[in-house]
Amino acid sequence: MAENKNYLDDLTLLQANYKDYPTEPSKDILEAFNNQHPNNDYWITFNCPEFTSLCPVTSQPDFGNITVKYRPDEKCVESKSLKLYLFAYRNHNAFHEAVTNMILDDLVELLNPKEMIVIGEFRPRGGISLDIEARYQQN
């Protein structure tokens, strides 16, 4: 069991009663651990159906669903850190395209996955909805 503890040593957000919620998104919030099955080719999918950010023009809230799908290489994102990272966008003013691509860029920098897709499906504002799909693939 000591071997399993080592790969979790760098994870700081899994403590019970953690309440230091970030107010702005930052890649520094994200944590990763070593992939325990690096020789397997598999997908990991996270779905955040209550995502919120702010319109950069009106500062009105924009509601959406963020889906993160990736094929891990050496690292996997720790889910609570991802939740806190996505939660931090609630006070962030940015267009939907920027938000979706920022999430992709930060996660790719953290994980260097084999492949990643971030999909932002935003609720209608002014009678029209907007979906963005940003992709990354290792060379």
Give dist(CA 133, CA 129) in Å, integer: 14
Q: How far apart are CA 133 and CA 117, in angstroms?
A: 7
55 tagged catalytic: yes
Catalytic residue among 9, 10, 41, 55: 55
Question: How many C-beta neighbours within 10 Å does residue 43 have?
Answer: 13
Q: How far apart are CA 125 and CA 57, in angstroms?
A: 13
SS3 (DSSP) at 22: coil
Task: Name the token pair of 92.
Answer: 């962030």
62 labelled catalytic: yes
Mark residue 8 as left, alpha or beta (left: phi above 0; alpha: psi -120 to 50; beta: remaining).
alpha
Q: Which of 28, 41, 62, 106 is catalytic?
A: 62
Say if CB 88 and CB 26 are below 8 A apart. yes
Q: Which residues are catalytic?
A: 55, 62
